[in-house]
Structure 1
């Protein structure tokens, strides 16, 4: 339940991006550029919520490579 509570709080603080213009990011130039690439869709640019949420939780994980293999522990 704690995980769901956290999800609910984050959704209230930083709602999931549903449409262009909901947030100022990324702006018209990056979207126009993305749409100039064959097969690209504007919806792929609707990730502002993830960028903002990463300010709270960080944006990456570090996993050690040992002899070319992911070292995930036991």
Structure 2
């Protein structure tokens, strides 16, 4: 069995949820892997990010976000509103803030405000960090016309480089 792994780096926009359509990159990794029959796992190690498989929406708003993404954001915002002030959610509590300020690299926690991303953690937990799809005869088994993979960074507090892992396994 072959196991082939590649990493994509995507840049979040830092002012709203960032969606990155990565289908072309996933297909390229599968081709490079030479796996004909198996699975492809697309995942992220970040606790405020998700990977989804969804239809391409075609229409976009002025920010370039697809309408389906805007609708998804609007629904999630009703369930889990953006964390704008301390005390809005229990997290981050005083111990977490102390850890962030003392033990973390300044690039990870540049200021206290950057810790106000509780909604990003909750949304990522609800949506999930990975998608798995089958590969048959070297072809990804997704809708070839409207099926697309999206990497999402839910954290709106600052732009960052984020990791997306593509793991191909099979024969």
With normalisation by structure 1, the TM-score equals 0.68
1:8 corresponding residue in structure 2: 74
Match status 1:30 vs 2:96: yes
Give the gaps of 5 or more residues in structure 1.
66-74
2:129 corresponding residue in structure 1: 59
1:20 corresponding residue in structure 2: 86
1:72 corresponding residue in structure 2: none
Structure 1 stretches of at least 4 aligned residues deviating more than 4 Å after TM superposition: none
In structure 2, do the counterparts of structure 1 residues 8 and 54 end up closer, same or farther at CA, with 3 Å as the change threshold? same
How far is the alpha carbon of 1:33 from its aligned partner? 3.0
With normalisation by structure 2, the TM-score equals 0.33
Match of 1:44 among 96, 105, 114: 114
- Relative to its length, the structure with more strand (as a share) is 2
How far is the alpha carbon of 1:59 from its aligned partner? 2.9
Higher relative contact order (CA 8 A, sep 6+): 2
Give the gaps of 5 or more residues in structure 2.
1-66, 131-163
